């Protein structure tokens, strides 16, 4: 399978996930600091698919998950309070 086909497959899968983004460029921690984002970049090396992903484990980790779960429990939009401005994107 070609890399472009794999990227399209991932884009389709994550289309309904508000905090997961695919990047065609190299990913950097600066892109996710102080956010609930997960940025994924796919790379093919010979016959292997290498998946790079970056998250800020303070926000995307347990605290962000707790906010997302609380939003769902109280019937709020799961994204409430989680779209924070990053250092760079």
pLDDT in tens, 3-60: 999 999 999 999 999 889 999 999 998 888 888 889 999 999 998 999 999 998 877 7
| Domain contains 33 | yes
| Domain contains 82 | no
| Domain contains 59 | yes
Provide the residue range defining the domain that includes 29. 3-73
Q: In this structure, how many other beta carbons lie within 10 angstroms of the beta carbon of residue 7?
A: 16
CA distance 87 to 30: 6
| Domain contains 32 | yes
Residue 69 main-chain phi, psi, to 5 deg: -65, -40
Question: What's the predicted TM-score (pTM) here?
Answer: 0.78
| CATH number for the domain harbouring residue 51 | 3.30.360.10
Work out how many domains the chain is built from and give that number.
1
């Amino acid at each position: 399978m070609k890399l472009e086909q794999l990227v399209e497959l991932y884009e389709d899968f994550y289309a309904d996930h508000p905090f997961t983004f695919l990047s065609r460029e190299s990913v950097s921690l600066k892109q996710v600091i102080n956010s609930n984002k997960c940025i994924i970049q796919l790379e093919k090396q010979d016959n292997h698919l290498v998946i790079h992903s970056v998250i800020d484990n303070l926000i995307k980790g347990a605290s962000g998950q707790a906010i997302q779960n609380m939003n769902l429990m109280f019937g709020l939009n799961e994204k409430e309070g989680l779209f924070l401005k990053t250092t760079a994107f």
